[in-house]
Amino acid sequence: MDYSLIFDLALILIVCKTLSIIMKKIAIPQVVGLIIAGLLIGPNVLGVVEKTPELTFFAEIGVLLLMFSAGLETDLKDIKSTGLVSLFVAALGVIAPLGGGYLLYSLFYGFGTVGSPQFLTAIFTGVIMTATSVGITVEVLKEMGKIKSKVGTIILSAAIIDDVIGIVLLAFVSGLKDASINPITVAGKTFAFFVCAIVAGFVIHKIFIWLEKHWDHHVRVPIFALSVCLLFSWAAEEIFGIADITGAFMAGVIISTVKPASEYTDTKININSYMIFTPVFFASIGIKITIGLENLTSKIIIFSVFFALVAMLCKMVGCFAAAKLSKFNTKDSLRIGAGMMARGEVALIVATKGMEAGVFDPVLFTAVIVLIVISSITTPVVLKTLYK
């Protein structure tokens, strides 16, 4: 055994936790601190930790647990209660950033022919913009006592839906990277996965009801749940050729229908994820990114600023328009749009998967980090102002 791995893990955890505390103190998302930790200890700065197959494996487990937990926290009843309005808000909240991202990249780097690598990168730039992170929005709404309001429910439900749409788009665009694959084939495999997942979900739902009845709050339940997560991830990647995180998320959504088993499972999963796997995942992003002074050109910096602005404005405009068309008043429509602006972990996950699939340039990852920082700081301010 190469014991340098143990040293690398210890160093990653220490630096990640230290920087995440600092980020929290200055009101910046802690996840940014985790990525900066990877940049500091990786080849870019100190060169103490390098990318290895072992770290890559830990990081992959981390992202699967992260998406599994996101699925477990999904409440399908909330989505049903808001019905078509949430779906409409989510749809326009995806279409507007998707188009905005495509145009922004194409204006900076040129319009590519349909199916070309340049075209796919432009589309994927838009896909990254579609993901919403409502963690910060939730905290603001809780603070103001608006979390259970109609506006709060719409924001939460729409965010869940557009994350699902974003993951589907990730699977689809990643599949198109292989020139030998027909787009219809990719769409067919994606559709087949979700059909099979739903069918299997009914069986798994019954099994977990039985487990909940016989082993309430027993550690066996989270173990079986984690097994389902890993099996779904494997099937998504190996059988259907779509992103493994899609399988992990769907597994979480299925088990989320069985309460309190899903809540207990989420607690146990989060312990393992928070302790080691998630920090390694986000730190590995920083370790893998190559940021040299020659890469940080004025064009990249300008692109990053516009990337953040376009992503936030397109999300707000799209969601505002959907809410307005759904008969919400102007102020509530603005609140819904503002609540959907924040970006976080899902955007990072999608961008990372895009780099691995070769449809997103690692140099442009700076833009994603800028988007997360700016949107995370701006969203609470705008939302509180709109509620005054």
Is the pLDDT reported for residue 309 higher than 90?
Answer: yes
How many percent of the chain have pLDDT more than 70?
88
Please give the residue that has the higher pLDDT: either 160 or 264.
264
Q: How far apart are CA 219 and CA 273, in angstroms?
A: 16
Q: How far apart are CA 373 and CA 342, in angstroms?
A: 9
Q: CB neighbours of 314 closer than 8 A, spacing ≥ 6?
A: 96, 97, 99, 100, 101, 129
- Arithmetic mean of pLDDT over the chain: 82
Mean pLDDT of 175-181: 60
Is the pLDDT reported for residue 80 higher than 60?
Answer: yes
pLDDT tier for residue 296 given thresholds of 50, 70 and 90: low
How many percent of the chain have pLDDT more than 90?
20
Please give the residue that has the higher pLDDT: either 157 or 337.
337
Is the pLDDT reported for residue 293 higher than 60?
Answer: no
The ranges assigned to domains in the chain are: 57-386
- The DSSP annotation for 183-230 comes to HHHHHHHHHHHHHHHHHHHHHHHHHHHHHHHHSTT-THHHHHHHHHHH
Q: How far apart are CA 227 and CA 308, in angstroms?
A: 38
Please give the residue that has the higher pLDDT: either 165 or 328.
328
Burial 259-281 (b: 16+ CB within 10 A, else e): eebbebbbeebbeebeebbbbbb
pLDDT in tens, 11-20: 999 999 999 8
Is the pLDDT reported for residue 362 higher than 80?
Answer: no
Domain 57-386, classified CATH 1.20.1530.20, yes or no: yes
What pLDDT does 301 receive?
85
Asked if residues 69 and 270 have their Cβ atoms less than 8 Å apart, the reply is yes
What pLDDT does 294 receive?
57
Continuous H helices in 235-357: 244-255, 261-272, 278-288, 298-325, 330-339, 345-357
pLDDT in tens, 212-261: 887 766 778 888 999 999 999 999 888 887 778 778 888 988 998 888 88
Mean pLDDT of 65-78: 78
Please give the residue that has the higher pLDDT: either 181 or 218.
218
Burial 292-316 (b: 16+ CB within 10 A, else e): eeeeeeeebeebbebbbbbbbebbb
What pLDDT does 175 receive?
66
